[in-house]
Structure 1
Amino acid sequence: MTTWIPAGPPALGAAVGADATPEGGWLVRPFRAGPGLDGPPGILQGGLAATLPSVVARLSDPFGAPLTSVTARLHAPTPLERELRFALRPADGVARHEVQLRDGDQLLVSATVELAGRDRAPAVPDLVELALGELPPQQHQRTYPRCFVCGPDSPHPHALRCTYGHVRDDAVALPWLAEEDLATAPDPRRRHDEGPGTIDPVVVGAALDCPGVWAATPALTGAGYAGCLLAGMEVRWYRDAPAYEPLRLVARHDELDGRKVRVRTALIDEDGLVHAVASALHIAVAEVPSLP
């Protein structure tokens, strides 16, 4: 019988198996994402899919260093409410782990997780500029109405329900006040765990996904596309982000090349301090998919 432990904050509703089983050089754990964690209907929200591999890496890491980065590729939609499997093994380089999320023989997500501590925040003046000053008028999106991050109709009790506003045609900025139920649960086994009141890194990763889509929306609409889906994402964490304090999410659309959409997003406080930065590749689609 599987013993389940929370993957991210308990309020999120995702869980992994407490025990890992060796299989062909990998350590394998079951995984289940509960209801309400949609991006498109029935599909795990892209930022969650990209950053949940950090959970199993941290469970297996003996040193307890803070999460540095996750670089992920999404190969296929991750279904909700069914048992999947995470597999982990050491990656090339120090403090790096290779993680795969699988549905039977189908590879859903592949990721490299680095657990080496926090780097100095980079100079991203264009993103910081978007976060400072008066916010633009905000609106809800309707393309992904059940999205855990930005869907106004999400059924999840702790959905973020983020709005967005265009600073320019290629950039958005929005306020974010994360509730304390989405904070990291303290773990006495770890020497360098994020403290109570710190937004869980997985939730930060989720929040960094959607603003990039809305920054790219004018370009996508102009090219005749209905939307886009996350294909790859790199997230780097630089500071613990406080729950229930005013923060800002910003995004800039950098390029639309055929169906490839490249965006950058950041989590920044009202003083211009950078907490996390993501770069993402989305693929433009003519119709938003869903899973039964």
Structure 2
Amino acid sequence: MNGSRLTPVDAPVPVGPAALGLRLGAQTAVVDGWLVRDLEVPDGLDGPDGILQGGFAAGVAIDAARAVDRFDAPLTSVDARLFAPTPLGRTLQVAVRPTTTTARYEVETRDGEQVLVAATVELAGQDPAARVYDLVELATVPIPPGRADSPFPHCFVCGADPRHPHAQKLLPAWAGEGRISIPWVCDDELGNERGVIDPLLVSAVLDCPTVWSAWHEVEANGWEGALLAHYHLRAFRDAPVMEPLRTVARLDDVDGRKVRARGALVDEEGVVYAVSSALHIGVEKLPTTPA
């Protein structure tokens, strides 16, 4: 790499819960002001088959930024644009550099020269409570039945037949047209030593409900699915493992192939742990596994 220098670090670093298998490599390189490391992406974290689930693809930036941050403040937000599918079973690269704003970092996931995801991560502490009353209401509705058939059977989050041993099987469940409410209890292995759910996993579980909230539009337009293009996650408090939660979502707007929806992680007492907003693009055919 032009203008780079390699620096060894102690060992590969887990990205999110170690049980997922995502890891940052054991060497760093400084390239044109970016700190670059390998990103090991295992099989089994599917969204569409062979492709990293969208919330994971966006949330990888959190730990990449945290690896260079000196203050260890909680996550404030991550804002990501997804330009191309992130392949599974590959070693990619992740690059990070600070911005001119304190506690804010630019992060890119790359496959050689191609930028797959570009994100901005803020590590300045959690925001005050969210005012998302329409989403909070969805955490109190009777639990609707989940739907097992979908074009994403192997999805880590919502697939009925996932490939990863720690997949969540959060089947989509509609509480009315454009409204999703899915019960979730996160097990200990996907939390940290404080009993808190890792933000990377929160990012993943708040992606799928947003696309499912628009599924009646997907079917009405004859699309095979919709792919995440822009994703924003904002954190408000640490979510506990082994406690009953809901992942909820509402469809906001459909404009041509552009689908906009919001999601939240909420408990049945109305406590909001995180919110997401997503732009999905409707597609006639889902992508195949990247070459």
Matched, 1:15 2:38: no
Aligned with 2:257 (options 256, 259, 262):
259
Asked if structure 1 preserves the Cα contact closer than 8 Å seen for 2:224 and 2:283, the reply is: yes
Once the two structures are superposed, residues 150-180 of structure 1 have per-residue CA deviations (whole angstroms, 9 ceiling, x without a partner) of 1111110000110122111111101001111
Q: Give 1:92 shift.
A: 3.4
| Shift, 1:91, TM fit | 1.6
The CA distance in 1 between the partners of 2:64 and 2:85, in whole Å, is 20
- 1:281 correspondence with 2:258: no
1:22-61 correspondence to structure 2 within 5 Å: 22-61=30-69
Q: If the length of structure 2 is used for normalisation, what is the TM-score? A: 0.94
The one of 233, 237, 240 equivalent to 1:239 is 237
Q: Verify the 8 A CA contact 1:140 1:162 in the aligned structure 2.
A: no
The answer as to 2:168 corresponding to 1:160 is yes
The residue type paired with residue 31 of structure 2 is: E
Residue pair 2:51, 2:86 contacting (<8 A) in 1 also? yes
The residue that corresponds to 1:96 in the other structure is: 104
Native 8 Å contact 1:91 1:112 kept in 2: no
Listed one character per residue, the Cα deviations across residues 36-83 of structure 1 (whole Å, up to 9, x for unaligned) are 001111110000001111111001100110011000000101111111
Matched, 1:130 2:130: no
Question: 1:195-226, CA deviations, whole angstroms, 9 ceiling, x for partnerless residues?
Answer: 2x111000000000001111100011112212
Give the one of 112, 116, 120 matched to 2:124. 116
Q: CA deviation at 1:137?
A: 2.2
**Matched letter for residue 133 of structure 2:** P
- Equivalents in 1 of 2:199, 2:37: separation in Å? 20
- Hey, what does 2:270 align to over in structure 1? 272
Name 1:211's counterpart in structure 2: 209
Match of 2:200 in 1: 202
For residues 50 and 36 of structure 2, the distance between their equivalents in structure 1, rounded to whole angstroms, comes to: 24
Alignment length (residue pairs): 282
Aligned to 1:85: 93
- Name 1:190's counterpart in structure 2: none
Question: Percent identity over the alignment?
Answer: 51
TM-score using structure 1 length: 0.94
Q: Determine the structure 2 residue equivalent to 1:192.
A: none
C-alpha contact (below 8 Å) 1:70/1:112 kept by paired residues: yes
Residue 260 and residue 17 in structure 1: after superposition, are their counterparts in 2 closer, same or farther (change >3 A)?
same
Q: Residue type of the partner of 2:274?
A: A
Gaps of 5+ in 1: 187-194
Name the CA distance, whole Å, in 1 between partners of 2:231 and 2:263. 10
User: How far apart are the structure 1 equivalents of 2:243 and 2:119?
Assistant: 30
Q: Distance in 1 between matches of 2:14 and 2:288?
A: 26
The structure 1 segments of at least 4 consecutive aligned residues displaced by more than 3 Å after TM superposition are: none
Gaps of 5+ in 2: 1-7
Query: Which of 207, 218, 221 does residue 220 from structure 1 map onto?
Result: 218
Helix, strand or coil at the partner of 1:220: helix
| 3-state SS of 2:209 partner | helix
Q: Which residue, out of 73, 77, 80, partners 1:65?
A: 73
